Amino acid sequence: MAKSALLGIFLSLLILAPLQAAETAQPAATSTKEAPHTVVRKKTVHKKKAAHRAVRRHAPVAKAKTHRRVRHVRTASLHPHERLVRKVELVHGRRRVVYVREAVPAVPAVPPVMSPHEMARWNMSHNSLALASSSALVIDESSSKVLYAKNADVALPMASITKLMTGMVVLDAHQDMNQIIEVTDADVDRIRYSSSRLRVGSRLTRAKMLHIALMSSENRAASALGRNYPGGLPAFVAAMNAKARELGMTSTHYVEPTGLSSDNVASARDLAKLLAAASHYPTLCRYTTDQRYVVRPGHYQLLYQNSNRLVDNPDWDIGIQKTGFINEAGHCLVMQANIDGRPVLMIFLDSQGKYSRLADANRVRHWLERNPPPQSVAVNTRDREG
C-alpha cells in the first residue's frame, strides 16, 4: 500500500514537471514579442521630445520651410510688371521680414552705347536706295543741295581718301614739283606692314610722287611727300588739320598723310567739303582721273593703274575721285561726276565688298537720272589751287 502511494506521487511529478517548464518559458516568449513594441514606444517618445524642444526654440526649421513655400507661390503669381521687395519691420520689439508687391518702374528705352563705326552700321535713316555703304552723301554741287544722306554726320576712318588732303597741302606749299625725292626706310609701313612697289632708295620728282599717290594710292610716295615738307612730317600733319578747319570740316582729324592709320577720321559731310575744295585744283583732278601712268624710280620701270575702274567707263564723266580701303574703314569712294549735265558730289564710306562702293555709285547715278533733285541743306564748297 505504501509502495503504491509512493509510485503515484512519482508519476505525478513526472507529468507536472514539463507543464511547469512550459509555464515558466511562456513569460520569456511574451517578453521577446513585446520587445519590438517597447522600441517603437521609445522612438515615438524621442520624436515627441524633439518636437517639444523645437516648439520651445520657436521652431526655426518649420518656419523656414513655410517661408520658402510662401515666397515661391507669391513669385509665381506675380504680374510681369510687379516685383517682390524685401522689407524688415519691427513688431512688438522683434524684427520681422516681409515681402511686399511693388510695381516695376517704367525705364525709358536707351539705345546701346556704340562706337562711331557701329553707329554707321546701324542705319538710322531711311535707305530707299538700298546702298551697301554704311555712310553716304550725295550733293548737287551747282546748287549745294543735299540729294541723299545716310549717316552723313558720323565720323569714320577714311583710309586713302586722306591723300586728297595730302595733295592739297603739297600744292598749297608751292614747293618745287620737279625736286627729286627719295624713298627711305622711314616711309616703310610700320602700321599695317603693307607692301609697296616703290623700293627703299627709289627716286622720283615730287610731281610724280604725288601722281602715283593720288591715282594708285601709293603709300610710300605719300609718306615721302609729307616727310619732305618744310618742318617735316609733324608740320605736314599740322597743316592738314589746319586746312580741315579752314574748310569747316569739324568732325575731321588727321595723324599721318597716307590713310593707313584708322585715327584719320572724317564724316561724309566733311568729305563732301574736302572733295568740293579739291575739285578746284586742276592738278588733283588730272592726277586722280588718269587711267594709267609709267614711272622710272631707278633702273626699272613701273606701270601704275587707277584704283577706280569707273574712270575707264565711258558712261561716266568723272571730274575728281579717290578710293580707299583699310579693315576699319571698309571700302570707301569719293567722287565728283557730271550727271545729266550737272556736277554731283558722291561720298560712300564703309562699303562691305570690293565692288559694292562702285555699285552704290551706279545706283545713285541711275536714281538721279530718273529723279529731279529735291530741296535740302546747303554745304560750303570753296577753295582753289594755288
Is residue 74 a part of any domain in this protein? yes
Q: Is residue 70 part of a domain?
A: yes
Which of 23-32, 110-119, 246-255, 282-291 is the least confident region?
A: 23-32
- Over range 130-146, report the average pLDDT: 93
Q: Do 92 and 145 fall within a single domain?
A: no
- Residue that finishes a domain, picked among 104, 134, 159: 104
Same structural domain for residues 286 and 344?
Answer: yes
pLDDT tens, position by position, 168-191: 999 999 999 999 999 999 999 999
Determine the pLDDT at residue 1: 52
163 is catalytic: yes
Q: Pick the residue with more confidence: 86 or 327?
A: 327
Q: Check whether residue 333 and residue 257 sit in a common domain.
A: yes
Same-domain status, 261 and 345:
yes
- Does residue 44 fall inside a structural domain? no
Residue 109 domain-assigned? no
User: Do 67 and 153 sit in the same domain of this protein?
Assistant: no
Question: Does the active-site annotation cover 160?
Answer: yes
- For residue 26, being part of any structural domain is answered with no
Query: Where in the sequence is the domain holding 314, given as residue range(s)?
Result: 116-174+239-293+306-370
| Confidence bin at 272 (pLDDT 50/70/90) | very high
pTM value is 0.66
Number of domains in the chain: 2
pLDDT given for residue 128 in this prediction: 64
373 pLDDT exceeds 80?
no
Shared domain for 82 and 149, answered yes or no, is: no
Are 148 and 82 in the same domain? Answer: no
Q: Supply the pLDDT for residue 32.
A: 42
**Which of 52, 81, 104 is at the close of a domain?**
104
Do the domain assignments include residue 195? Answer: no
Lowest mean pLDDT among 29-43, 71-85, 261-275, 314-328: 29-43
pLDDT bracket for residue 111 (50, 70, 90): very low
3-state secondary structure the chain: CHHHHHHHHHHHHHHHHHHHHHHHHHHHHHHHHHHHHHHHHHHHHHHHHHHHHHHHCCCHHHHHHHHHHHHHHHHHCCCCCEEEEEEEEEECCEEEEEEEEEECCCCCCCCCCCCHHHHHHCCCCCCCCCCCEEEEEEEECCCCEEEEEECCCCCEECHHHHHHHHHHHHHHCCCCCCCEEECCHHHCCCCCCCCCCCCCCCEEEHHHHHHHHHHHCCHHHHHHHHHCCCCHHHHHHHHHHHHHHHCCCCCCECCCCCCCCCCCEECHHHHHHHHHHHCCCHHHHHHHHCCEEEECCCCCCEEEECCCHHHHCCCCCEEEEEEEEECCCEEEEEEEEEECCEEEEEEEEEECCCCHHHHHHHHHHHHHHHCCCCCCCCCCCCCCCC
- 66 and 170 share one domain: no
**140 and 80 housed in the same domain:** no
Shared domain for 341 and 366, answered yes or no, is yes
Q: Are 79 and 164 part of one and the same domain?
A: no
Catalytic residue from among 133, 160, 261, 267? 160
Catalytic residue among 134, 150, 163, 216: 163
135, 202, 217, 351: the active-site residue: 217
381 pLDDT more than 50: no
Instruction: Please indicate, yes or no, whether residues 98 and 243 belong to a single structural domain of this protein.
Output: no
List, for residues 84-93, the tens digit of each pLDDT value.
777 777 777 7
Q: Does the pLDDT at position 125 exceed 50?
A: no
